[in-house]
Amino acid sequence: MRSLSIGATGMLAQQLNVEVISNNLANMSTTGFKRQRAEFQDLLYENIKRMGTTSSDAGTVIPSGIQLGTGVKTGSVYRIMGQGNMTSTDNTYDLGIQGRGYFRVLLPSGEEAYTRAGAFQLNGDGQIVTQDGYTVQPGIVIPQNATEVAISATGEVAVTLPNQVNPQVVGQLDLATFINPAGLAATGDNLFLETPASGTATVGLPGDEGFGTLLQGYVEAANVNPVQEITNLISAQRAYELNSKVITASDEMLQTITQLR
């Protein structure tokens, strides 16, 4: 009975759908998080009677035929790269990106990772680092005696030193963009790695064409809409239940057959 296996594929697909939705809801408060969406595809079809074949010696053609589907599979789980809301933190080193772009982060392995989570701090050497202590490229050092730090929308980092009126520029932050940011590989800790699907990183200054701008004292909130996610969760739950009903109905039909005398 094909309906047993078909219903099982539907339940597995909706189980994965619920897992994706639950991950979105779990990361509602994660800085810079981008929600995900599961996409599904139908499985191969069994041709009982192929359309387009001749049905008689007179050359008549079967117009539609008989094709039976075998279920559903997961096609992809992709990220939706919409802009999240800016949340004020009043922290000097917190930076939100308005528009396209990722901060570049140097990993201990020497690889370069990318992030939208701009909750930065200073380490013991005065470098701007992530919450895990990874250096934000290009490795800007803030003087220990700086009395004020200002980061412009274009990424220019300026500090005010004692007994000086004019701020002194100590570095320039940049951003990286990708032709397909949904192709970046998530590694956890709000970090992404470049892949062949994402394309090579293009590095430029904030505010340049195709790059977003920075907002000091703010971080980008997750772009998760809780109402939409709960609605999707209810739909996935109902779809799971319907597929389980298919399996139940198929089992009852088989039970009826076995009771025939």
What pLDDT was estimated at residue 45? 84
For the chain, first and last CA: distance in Å?
A: 20
90 Cβ neighbours under 8 A, 6+ residues apart: 217
Mean confidence (pLDDT) of the chain: 92
Q: How many domains does the chain have?
A: 2
Which residues in 126-153 are b (16+ Cβ under 10 Å) and which e? Answer: ebbbbeeebbbbeebebeeebeebebbe
Question: How far apart (Å, rounded) are the C-alpha atoms in residues 60 and 46?
Answer: 22
What pLDDT was estimated at residue 177? 96
Do 19 and 61 fall within a single domain? yes
- Return the C-alpha torsion angle 209, 211, 216, 220, nearest 10: 140
Instruction: Give the tens place of pLDDT for each residue, 30-57.
Output: 999 999 999 999 988 888 888 778 777 7
Do 129 and 189 fall within a single domain? yes
What pLDDT was estimated at residue 258? 85
- Return the C-alpha torsion angle 107, 29, 85, 196, nearest 10: 40
DSSP result, 128-196: EE-TT-PEETTT-B--TT-SEEEE-TT-EEEEE-TT-SS-EEEEE--EEE-S-GGGPEEEETTEEE--T
Q: Which amino acid is at 38?
A: A
Do 175 and 127 fall within a single domain? yes
74: tokens are 């997961």
Q: Is 103 helix (H, G, I), strand (E, B) or coil?
A: strand
Instruction: Give the tens place of pLDDT for each residue, 65-82.
Output: 888 888 999 999 999 999
Instruction: Give the tens place of pLDDT for each residue, 141-194.
Output: 999 888 899 999 999 999 999 888 888 999 999 999 999 999 999 999 999 999
Q: Is 27 helix (H, G, I), strand (E, B) or coil?
A: coil
Do 99 and 40 fall within a single domain? no
Do 250 and 162 fall within a single domain? no
Percent of the chain topping pLDDT 90: 76
Question: How far apart (Å, rounded) are the C-alpha atoms in residues 148 and 232?
Answer: 46
Backbone angles phi and psi of 166, in degrees to 5: -90, 135
**Band of the pLDDT at 90, cuts 50, 70, 90?**
confident
Q: pTM of the prediction?
A: 0.85
Do 193 and 141 fall within a single domain? yes
For residue 160, give its domain range.
86-220
Backbone angles phi and psi of 9, in degrees to 5: -65, -35
Do 175 and 244 fall within a single domain? no
Do 125 and 54 fall within a single domain? no
Do 119 and 213 fall within a single domain? yes
Do 109 and 211 fall within a single domain? yes
Taking a C-beta distance cutoff of 8 angstroms, is the pair 182, 171 a contact? no
Residue 8 has pLDDT above 90, yes or no: yes
Do 47 and 158 fall within a single domain? no
Residue 257 has pLDDT above 90, yes or no: no
What pLDDT was estimated at residue 164? 82
Instruction: Give the tens place of pLDDT for each residue, 190-239.
Output: 999 999 999 999 999 999 999 999 999 999 999 999 999 999 999 999 99
Q: Which residues pair with 77 in a beta bridge?
A: 38
